[in-house]
Amino acid sequence: MLTGKSYKRVWQWGADGAFPPRYFLTMMCALAARGYTAPAALWRQEIPRNKEALLWVLARKLSAA
């Protein structure tokens, strides 16, 4: 399990419309490792678009290492 939380808890995050901010880096790296991205707003993060793109590039490099 990526977050260590139960399926029911993660399902509730979907119903709430956002993931807890503390899982931003964990999930971002996992997505990048699979070639995916997601808006930082899903974790209630406010990052300028150019810096958000940089974060995704860094996450891909970290997950490849």
**pLDDT tops 80 at residue 65:** no
Q: Residue 57: which domain range?
A: 19-64
Number of structural domains the chain divides into = 1
Domain membership of residue 25 (yes or no) is yes
The pLDDT assigned to 21 comes to: 92
Separation between Cα atoms, residue 46 and residue 65, nearest integer Å: 27
Domain membership of residue 49 (yes or no) is yes
Domain membership of residue 11 (yes or no) is no
The pLDDT assigned to 51 comes to: 83
Domain membership of residue 5 (yes or no) is no
Separation between Cα atoms, residue 9 and residue 51, nearest integer Å: 30
Q: Which amino acid is at 56?
A: W
pTM equals 0.70
Domain membership of residue 27 (yes or no) is yes
**pLDDT tops 80 at residue 22:** yes
Confidence of residue 60 (pLDDT cuts 50, 70, 90): confident
Confidence of residue 61 (pLDDT cuts 50, 70, 90): confident
DSSP codes of every residue in 4-41 = S--HHHHHHHHHHTS--GGGHHHHHHHHHHTT----GG
Separation between Cα atoms, residue 38 and residue 62, nearest integer Å: 17
